[in-house]
Amino acid sequence: MCNPLSWVDASLGFLVLSLTHHLLTMANTTSAAPPGVINPSTPFAYLAPEDAVLMLTTICVNVGCLAVVLWDILGHSLADFQVIFFRRFNWKTIIYLVARISPFCFYLSGSIFGTSAKVSCGPLHDAWIVFGILSRSSTALLLYFRACAVYNHNHFVTSLFAVSWGVVVAFVVLAVAGTSGVTIGPTPYCWHMPTQYAVGSIFAEVFNDTLVCLAVMYKLTGITWTERSASIKRIFKPEQPLLTHIFMQDSLLYYVLAIVANLGTAILYFAMVHSQPTFVRVIATKSPGSLVTNLIALQIHRNMKLGTPGLMTPATSKASVLVTTSTIVFKSPEEEFQTVQDRPLALDSVPSLSYTGSSFTESSEHP
């Protein structure tokens, strides 16, 4: 059987070669030049030097993000197939599909927009706007689902998370829709300059990710002022059962990585705020940190739908688990099952999970 990663390597190589050839063609085409213009056949001739660097590096960032998305899609194609066809299909699954497909379409349309000379600037730019809004809004919505699953019956907290998600969507719309696609001089190439509202969307996402991370950490570890040290030790205790690691270790690590990525993007943006647009500001404006957050949110959703451990958790425990709205109750093979008063927490298609030593099995009955 062909290894899917070999297709990933081939696709990445094709993208790199195509981009290199196209950029060399854009930069090296020669013709009779009017006074003051070195090469009228390339769009870089009609831009200021700093703007030309901005355009070139932004194209490279777009193509690099596109390669990362393609790698992740092909690398998790089997897991995505299981989530779609072997788990209950509901509207949350639709949001998952939107969050999976829209980043690919966003970076693909952005790459074509900045490199192709045979497209209509207006319609392609409108498609870029739509995919950008869908990508970042659906990612924030997946994080909202995760927080609501933990705070299942706390309407105040879930409403707070809903407001946080709405703030993210509002800033994303301002950041993406504030640009306009224009033609560069007399050339057929298109371009859109970064909007001044981009940094607002970055901080909105940082706030939302931080809020979700801290809320999930507090709820699942039961941290209190009197039991703080013991609760923190439970997070990283290596003997913990499998689902405990999924909740308490890997998921929290994913959230922390997302926060670091978005904070790093904002810091890089302000580091060059008084200078000309450079590679650092391109990275900040285009916000690859949003892509990192998207991949993390997808990974957490897949883990919870399939009942599988994260990338950094060894599947060594033999305990079976039941997730409830207020606690996680564990039963080893030698112990009697402990009854609980709360209703089981509905985690999409995994109302009850049991671990047999080699895999999770799903049950629709609850004690």
CA 255 to chain centre: 11
Nearest residue to 288 (alpha-carbon basis) of 119, 118, 60 = 60
Q: What is the pLDDT of residue 203?
A: 80
Retrieve residue 353's tokens.
């999970």
DSSP codes joined into one string, 168-208: HHHHHHHHHHT---EE-TTSS-EE-PPPTTHHHHHHHHHHH
Q: What is the pLDDT of residue 215?
A: 82
Is residue 333 within 8 A of residue 266, CB to CB? The reply is no
Is residue 189 within 8 A of residue 216, CB to CB? The reply is no
Residues carrying CATH 1.20.1070, the chain: 4-306
Reported as half-sphere exposure (CB side, CA atoms, 13 A), residue 339 has a value of 2
- Candidates 1.10.12, 3.40.50, 1.20.1730, 1.20.1070; CATH matching 4-306: 1.20.1070
Tell me the pLDDT of the chain (367 aa) as tens digits: 444 444 445 555 555 555 554 554 554 443 444 555 566 667 777 777 777 777 787 788 888 899 999 999 999 999 999 999 988 889 999 999 999 999 999 999 888 888 877 778 888 888 888 998 999 899 999 989 888 888 887 888 889 999 999 998 998 888 777 777 778 877 788 887 666 667 677 788 888 888 887 787 777 666 444 444 555 555 555 555 554 554 455 566 777 787 787 777 777 777 765 555 555 565 666 668 888 889 988 988 898 888 765 544 433 333 333 333 333 333 443 443 343 333 444 444 444 444 444 444 444 444 4
Residue type, 284: A
Q: What is the pLDDT of residue 355?
A: 43
Retrieve residue 33's tokens.
């030049």
Retrieve residue 19's tokens.
């981009």
Q: Longest C-alpha distance within the chain, in Å?
A: 88
Rounded Cα distance, 298 and 149, in Å: 15
Is residue 256 within 8 A of residue 310, CB to CB? The reply is no
Rounded Cα distance, 112 and 171, in Å: 25
Q: What is the pLDDT of residue 356?
A: 46
Is residue 333 within 8 A of residue 318, CB to CB? The reply is yes
pTM higher than 0.85, yes or no? no
Nearest residue to 272 (alpha-carbon basis) of 53, 82, 87, 76 = 53
Rounded Cα distance, 88 and 92, in Å: 10
